[in-house]
Amino acid sequence: MSLSDSLRSVLPANQQFEYLSLQSIPIETHAVVTSDRTDKRVAKHTIKTQHFFSLFHQEKVFFSLEVYVYITLWDEMDAERLVFVSKADTNGYCDTKVSIRDISKVLLKFILSIDPNYYLQKVKPIARPYQKMSIEMIHPASTPTKTLRTLAKRLKQFGGTNLEEAALSRFLQDFYHSWTCSRKILTKICLFTRPASQYLFPDSSKNHKKHILNGDQLLKWWSSILDSLLVDCFQNGTQAKLRIPGEDPARVRLYLRGMKYPLWQVGDIFTPNEKSLAVYSIPLFPDDPKARFIHQLAEEDRLLKVNSSTFWIELQERQEFKLSVTASVMGVSGYSLVTPTFLPSSADVIVPRSKKQFKGVKKYITGEEYDTEEGAVEAFLNIRDFLILRMATNLQSLTGKRECRASSPLGSTSNNNAVEVTLLKPRKKSKTQPTTHQR
């Protein structure tokens, strides 16, 4: 099912929406978890791809979600997929009731349905070997003799085939990698919850129509989404774990009461045991408190001294956790009920040609000021104009199909009661702002 069809099913009937589904070029990166040199199983390649979704109603952005997908290749065909839910936020400028819970669930289901080989077709390597390029370049300053020698060498090299196509093929081999893995892939989902007034929409907390969840509400909100995904998308026996740093396990279990999936446990999916070194079990995600603490341990020369149990105890003492709010780590690890085979089309995702362009498009959302409705309007106009003028594409439009029904404030957002969903601590806003639409 396409992303448009999935979103239609959870958006209110007869209401018009637009959405932005942005995806970065897959890049080769460092391993998600640092490998112990004594481990027999070491990741050969790790590929990272970023997804950024935004929803618009009546020419205003009102919701965004950022997700990272990591494909770890252990060996031929042996791979692992990790979905890291990084940030989610609403700004309070939606003029109709929608279920943010169901929208988030649909977006995560969409990502889970994607064939992992989709991300492996064209991967930008960590370092491009410019000094070892297969194709000898012809420079404008080359003499006629040197040019003829180079062309003759290429003709011999490619065996008389179409020189232009062969040269392009070799060029892409040097500039991009391509791998294949089994579609039956171990899938993990990980997220970190900590309440904040805003994250993806700067100054949106100044909008009095925005309802902000506290730590307990946020934890329950996300755990209900993961619980639903476990029932709908994962095989029996899948691990499901919840950890609240510094909290007594008995109290953590209280949050697991009423879960539909019966195998929820206290803990996290990355720690093999409490005595294992934290550096070899804690994942390194972008803009994540756990990763920042690992880097601090490295600066203090304590990486090989802190085990997982001590890591979680000390983590709660960091500044990000000292405001007496509930913060948690949730994780899922298992196999999908249905083999992921979906290959997104250009209607499902927009892939900018470079990392810089990806950040530029995203900045039109995250770089605005949302203390007034004008910011939500400007974001829509700037995104729409940039896509049309610079990328020859546009926002995808759709009409909702869900009939209106009563919904709880925790799972919905409207002009009068908008739910804010934030996973990480707010960062300082960049001084660089995108060019606003001139009206």
Q: Is pLDDT above 50 for 359? A: yes
Cβ atoms of 297 and 279 within 8 Å: the answer is yes
What local confidence, expressed as pLDDT, does residue 372 receive? 97
**pLDDT, position 272:** 84
Say if strands 45-57 and 264-266 run parallel, antiparallel, or are unpaired: unpaired
Rounded to whole angstroms, how far apart are CA atoms 130 and 134?
A: 9
Burial class (CB in 10 A: 0-12, 13-18, 19+), 229: buried
**303 lies in some domain:** no
What is the predicted pLDDT for the residue at 58? 97
Of 19-33, 163-177, 372-386, the poorest mean pLDDT is in: 163-177
Q: What is the pLDDT of residue 130?
A: 55
> How high is the pLDDT of residue 323?
64
The 10s digit of each residue's pLDDT in 297-344 is: 999 999 999 999 999 888 887 766 666 788 999 999 999 999 999 999
Residue 298 included in any domain: no
Whether residue 345 is predicted with pLDDT greater than 80 in this model: the reply is: yes
Which has more confidence, 77 or 349? 349
Asked if residues 80 and 185 have their Cβ atoms less than 8 Å apart, the reply is: yes
- Whether residue 130 lies inside any domain: the answer is no
Mean pLDDT of the chain: 86
At residue 407, does pLDDT exceed 50? no
- Whether pLDDT at 410 is above 50: no
pLDDT, residue 201, reads 98
Task: Please check whether residue 378 is in contact with residue 436, taking contact to mean a CB–CB distance below 8 angstroms.
Answer: yes
Pairing of strands 210-212, 418-420: parallel
Looking at the domain assignment, is residue 286 inside a domain? no
Highest mean pLDDT among 1-15, 278-292, 306-320: 1-15
Structural domain includes residue 234: yes
Query: Which of 175 and 262 is assigned the larger pLDDT?
Result: 262
* Residue 291 confidence (pLDDT) above 70: yes
Q: Does position 394 have pLDDT exceeding 90, yes or no? A: yes
Q: Is 203 a catalytic residue?
A: no
Q: Count of domains in the chain?
A: 1
Answer whether residue 268 is part of any domain: no
Q: What is the pTM of this model?
A: 0.85
Taking residues 416-427, report their average pLDDT.
Answer: 44
Give the Cα separation of 162 and 406 in Å (integer): 64
Burial of residue 5 (number of CB atoms within 10 Å: 0-12, 13-18, 19+): exposed
Confidence grade of residue 165 (pLDDT, cut at 50, 70, 90): low
Could you tell me if residue 90 is inside a domain? yes
Mean pLDDT of 107-130: 91
Query: Average pLDDT in the 8-26 region?
Result: 97
Q: What is the pLDDT of residue 432?
A: 43
269 pLDDT more than 90: yes
Strand-pair category, 186-193 with 210-212 = unpaired
Write b or e for each residue in 257-293: b if 16 or more Cβ atoms lie within 10 A of its Cβ, otherwise e. Answer: eebebeebebbbbbbeeeebbbbbbbbbbeebbbeeb
Residue-number span of the structural domain to which 20 is assigned: 3-35+43-122+179-248+326-420
Tell me the mean pLDDT in the region 19-32. Answer: 96
Selected residue with higher pLDDT from 387 and 437: 387
**Does residue 430 carry a pLDDT above 50?**
no
> pLDDT at position 429, please?
42
From the list 288, 348, 371, 385, the catalytic residue is 288
The 3-class secondary structure across the chain, one letter per residue, is CCHHHHHHCCCECCCEEEEEEEECCCEEECCCCCCCCCCCCCCCEEEEEEEEEEEEECCCEEEEEEEEEEEEECCCECEEEEEEEEEEEECCCCCCCECHHHHHHHHHHHHHHECHHHHHCCEECCCCCHHHCCCCCCCCCCCHHHHHHHHHHHHHHCCCCCHHHHHHHHHHHHHCECCCECCCCEEEEEEEECCCCCCCCCCHHHCCCEEECCHHHHHHHHHHHHHHHHHHHECCCCEEEEECCCCCHHHHHHHCCCCCCCCEEECCCCCCCCCCEHHHCCCCCCCCHHHHHHHHHHHCCCCCCCEHHHHHHHHCCCHHHCCCCCCEEEEEEECECCCCCECCCCCCCECCCCHHHHHHHHHHHHCCCCCCHHHHHHHHHHHHHHHHHHHCCCCEEEECCECCCCCCHHHCECCCCEEECCCCCCCCCCCCCCCCCCC
Can you tell me the mean pLDDT for 290-303?
A: 93
Residue 273 pLDDT exceeds 90 = no
The two three-digit tokens of residue 276, written as one number: 């294992």
Residue 141 resides in a domain: no
pLDDT of residue 399: 97
Q: Tokens 């003029």 sit at which residue?
A: 95
Check pLDDT > 90 for residue 418: no
What pLDDT score was predicted for residue 423?
52
Residue 317 has a pLDDT of 79
Rounded distance, CA 31 to CA 253, Å?
32
Residue 37 has pLDDT above 80, yes or no: no
Can you tell me the mean pLDDT for 142-167?
63
> Would you say residue 166 has pLDDT above 80?
no
Backbone angles phi, psi at 19, to 5 degrees: -140, 150
